[in-house]
Amino acid sequence: MGGVDPIDKAVPSIIVEGQKPYAQESRELIAKRMEIAAKGVTSGVIQQSITRMCAKGVIATTGCRECLVEGRGFAAWIEQAVLHNRG
């Protein structure tokens, strides 16, 4: 995913893991994965990322501030990448 904003890589991984991207815990996890201060990942930053990815057809919003990754194959690929990076 060269040339992709790091937040746009982190948000789908949170969604695939079943987390709510706007939750404080999720924002802290995203910040940790991006190796930045937690205060740098605000709800506004998450919203901007989600807006960009919705426009590209990467994710879809389901209402009530919930999202899902478009395409089972893509979601599985993200999940494998996240699991691989944890090991």
| Distance between CA atoms of residues 75 and 58, nearest Å | 10
Q: What angle do the packed helices 72-86 and 6-16 form, to 10 degrees?
A: 100
Task: Report pLDDT digits (tens) over 15-48.
Answer: 888 899 999 999 999 999 999 999 999 999 999 9
Are 38 and 24 in contact by the 8 Å Cβ rule? The answer is no
- Sketch out the chain's domains with CATH numbers: 6-86 (1.10.10)
The number of angstroms, rounded, from the C-alpha of 8 to the middle of its chain's C-alpha atoms is 6
The runs of H, that is alpha helices, within the chain are: 6-16, 24-34, 43-55, 72-86
Quote the tokens at residue 67.
Answer: 């999202």
Output the pTM of the full model. Answer: 0.75
Note the pLDDT of residue 14.
92
